[in-house]
Amino acid sequence: MTDSVTTQVALVTGAAQGLGNHIARRLHGAGYKVVLSDIHLAAAQAAASELDISGETAMAVALNVAHKCDFESALAVVLEQWGSLQVLVNNAAVTRATPVMDITLEEFNQVVNINLGGTFAGCQVLGGYMAKQGYGRIINMSSLAGQNGGTSTGAHYAASKGGILTLTKVFAKELAGGGVTVNAIAPGPIDSPMVKALVPAERLPGLLANIPVGKLGDADFIGDVVVQLASPQAYFTTGTTWDVNGGLFMR
């Protein structure tokens, strides 16, 4: 595998908006062909057109991460269009802030199935393909909530993100022999629509006061960390969790 990323293809789940879109943009800016996948195809198509209206370096695919068959279908489309896939970013997730004692089993299962199950399916289907090709980079988006139990998010969200940290280690061991690295990123509160939706404006000063650096995180920087972990030079980093949380959680 060459050190150049100009011929490499990266697929980002949940890339139509929010953090996933920032990640897709940073990968595209770094020279990757980018597949913006999302459950909302029209939104993904609009986001892909903003990156490259010609479709030569950015394309959209419909992908519901709760369905393993969607990953298989997306892979088939990418291979038909561009012939290969080297990078997967498992980013798609749902966030719920339901109090723990009010969470129904149905709601719990839904969140875990999408967040944790989607990461599992992505690693299994696309990671398996990469291992057969002898090269790959997988970056799983976890969360500070998966490390500290969460503050503004629900127990099901925190549990699913904690599970992603374990799955990252499992697949890092499983796929290492095939030249595939698997790492996780655990962001703290990011300056994003999701955080602002969960934290009312009147609570924001209190949130910032509890962050040692006193600021929300930068979504573009998260994208830059993804680019770093996606690079061919990152072959010696696998099974790790990169903390980007302003000092809220220190090892």
Catalytic residue ranges: 157
Q: Report DSSP state, residue 92.
A: -
Question: Whole-angstrom Cα distance, residue 24 to residue 234?
Answer: 19
Residue 188, token pair as written in the block: 């703290």
Q: Which residues of 69-83 are buried (b: 16+ CB within 10 A; e: fewer)?
A: ebbeebbebbeeebe
Nearest to 130 by CA among 48, 68, 71, 62: 71
Q: Which residues contact 158 (CB under 8 A, 6 or more apart)?
A: 143, 145, 146, 149, 150
Question: Sheet containing 58-62: which strands, arranged edge to edge?
Answer: 58-62, 33-38, 9-13, 87-90, 136-141, 180-187, 241-244
Q: Which residues contact 202 (CB under 8 A, 6 or more apart)?
A: none
Question: Whole-angstrom Cα distance, residue 251 to residue 243?
Answer: 9
